[in-house]
Amino acid sequence: MLIQAGGTDLLFDSGAGTMGRLLAAGVEPTALDYLYYSHMHSDHTGELIPLLQAMALAQRTADLHLTAPTGFDAFLDGLLALQPWAKPQGYRLVRHPAESAPCGGPGWPVTAARTGHMPTSVAYRVAAEGKSVVYSGDATVTPELAALGRDADLLILECSFPDDFPDEERKRGHLTPSAAGGIARKAAARHLVLTHFYPVCRMDEIEAQTRRAFDGPLTLAYDGLVIAV
């Protein structure tokens, strides 16, 4: 997910297809200066190594800032040990802990909070020009996530399973429509965007189930969606 804040492009997670989608949107992936990761699962990190390799091949020289939660450094070091051609060449990879506050840049502070999906997984809040966007990554219902999303202009929450999906074990660690709607209502979010739909999700059902808990502006995300805040 790309957030443009104060004239700066911020990339949050990079699952499969990220670079192609960026190019289609007119954003050069190798020109990104700020990467943020919510956790280490492959559907959120699958194109991190290809992205780093592309940056090396592009003869990048500017610093690349990567912010991620506890444990991500060891995870990335392991990936780079297996694929050394993706190691930074000609530029510095500057790593920042997501837990530091704030972890953003000039004019666009970024704060993070735990989400409960993994012991260290985090959500992020970006503030710029009087507006705020919150991205959950993968999440469960936690007071920290609702607090992070308080009065957000755009609250982007994952929604992996419908409410009535029968496998409770698989649902654990993720949000359902009514759970996401409840977070948005508690946070008094101005606009809720749901994303991260697993194949079992039917969009008409997802919208109806979300409406049980949240009656504000609602968008079901799709690849290439652009929202102005």
How many other β-carbons are positioned within 10 Å of the β-carbon of residue 118?
17
In DSSP terms, which residues pair with 68 in a beta bridge? Answer: 97
Q: What's the whole-number mean pLDDT along residues 219-224? A: 97
State what percent of residues in the chain have pLDDT above 70.
100
CA-only gyration radius of the chain, Å:
17
Report the CATH superfamily, name and number, of domain 130-229. Answer: Ribonuclease Z/Hydroxyacylglutathione hydrolase-like (3.60.15.10)
pLDDT in tens, 174-191: 999 999 999 999 999 999
Whole-angstrom Cα distance, residue 178 to residue 158? 12
| Alpha-carbon separation of residue 57 from 21, 34, 52, 89 (angstroms) | 19, 18, 9, 8
Do 1-99 and 130-229 fold alike per CATH?
A: yes
Q: What's the whole-number mean pLDDT along residues 87-102? A: 92
The yes-or-no verdict on residue 101 having pLDDT over 80 is no
Phi and psi at residue 184, to the nearest 5°: -60, -40
pLDDT in tens, 34-78: 999 999 999 999 999 999 999 999 999 999 999 999 999 999 999
Residue 109, preceding peptide bond in cis (omega within 30° of 0): no
At the topology level of CATH, where does 1-99 sit?
Metallo-beta-lactamase; Chain A (3.60.15)
Do the Cβ atoms of 50 and 80 come closer than 8 Å? no
Q: CB burial class (10 A; 0-12, 13-18, 19+) of residue 54?
A: middle
Domain ranges in the chain are 1-99, 130-229
Is the pTM higher than 0.85? The answer reads: yes
CA atoms within 13 A on the CB side of 85: 5
Provide the pLDDT confidence category of residue 108 given band limits of 50, 70 and 90: very high
CA atoms within 13 A on the CB side of 90: 13
